[in-house]
Amino acid sequence: MVSKVLLLTGIFVVSVWANDGEELLKKMDGNRDWTSIVSTAKMEIILDDETRVKTMEIAGVSDGNKSLVRFTNAEDEGTKYLMLGDNLWIYFPEENDVVKISGHMLKEGMMGSDVSYEDALEADKLSEKYAVEITGEEEYEGHACYLLTLTAKVKDAPYYKRVMRVEKKRYVAWKEESFAKSGKLLKTSRILEVKKVGDMWYPVKVEMVNALRKNSRTVFTTETIVFGKALPDDMFTMRNLRR
């Protein structure tokens, strides 16, 4: 009788956690609930003992998942990325040429970094692409966190499984491990710093490590950020990409 009670209690707890997991994902999505963004950022690509620095200006709107990135460091000055939904084009000023990134190329590192084009394109809400289960609780870097396991429920999810340490108080995913369907670890990301902007806790410094590359990591730092600024529709066009 005791074992049956324990079993039923365990089922009840798992059920409650599963429901809470869905609510938690929605709260995490709330930290990305902006209408438009204008920012400047720095990307440090650290490979062995060498560090390459890329700087950029970013503008984006959530309606239609549109964004334009213009690189400003000397080596890549004028190179632009235009993202429209799940489509990505790159403009190379020296060749005055536009290349569309698609298929397996989306999994390659952006500018040779540990951040893939697929990572950069991800704008959909987590709750739309993943089923979630709270699988435990633990402390991470002084933050009381839930341990979340996300499993892809649509084919175009960038990773089959994601394991996150999500802070209970602010719904920040401080650490995430991403896996292939085979169970192989693909990437690990850590949020190093967050900033409160309005009602959102926005990650302004993130480190990503590609498990398939040796001695490599990328640190992405948002240096300035403005939400809610009106942006013209013609900013996110092929014509503007070539300007």
CATH, residue 131: 2.50.20.10
% of residues, the chain, pLDDT over 90? 66
Question: Is 123 or 88 the better-scoring residue by pLDDT?
Answer: 88
The pLDDT of residue 94 is above 60: yes
Q: Tell me how far apart the terminal alpha carbons of the chain are, to the nearest angstrom.
A: 75
pLDDT 10s digits, 135-187: 999 999 999 999 999 999 998 888 999 999 999 999 999 999 999 999 999 99
Residues 16, 63, single domain; the answer is no
Residues 61, 10, single domain; the answer is no
Collapsing DSSP to helix, strand or coil, 2 comes out as: helix
Label residue 123 by pLDDT band (50, 70, 90).
Answer: low
Residues 65, 23, single domain; the answer is no
In a domain, 174, yes or no: yes
Residues 210, 145, single domain; the answer is yes
The pLDDT of residue 106 is above 90: no
The pLDDT of residue 10 is above 70: no
Residues 141, 100, single domain; the answer is no
Q: Strands (DSSP E) along the chain, which ranges?
A: 36-47, 50-61, 66-71, 80-84, 87-92, 97-101, 130-140, 143-152, 161-167, 173-179, 185-197, 200-210, 216-227
Residues 200, 236, single domain; the answer is no
Q: What is the pTM of this model?
A: 0.85
Residues 152, 164, single domain; the answer is yes
The total domain count for the chain is 2
In a domain, 47, yes or no: no
In a domain, 48, yes or no: no
Q: 């984006």: which residue's tokens?
A: 60
- Structural domain including 208 reads 2-32+126-227
pLDDT 10s digits, 23-51: 888 888 777 778 899 999 999 999 998 99
Label residue 63 by pLDDT band (50, 70, 90).
Answer: confident
The sign of the torsion formed by the CA atoms of 143, 146, 151, 153 equals negative
Label residue 124 by pLDDT band (50, 70, 90).
Answer: low
Residues 161, 114, single domain; the answer is no
Residues 131, 18, single domain; the answer is yes
Residues 185, 67, single domain; the answer is no
Collapsing DSSP to helix, strand or coil, 3 comes out as: helix
The pLDDT of residue 16 is above 70: no
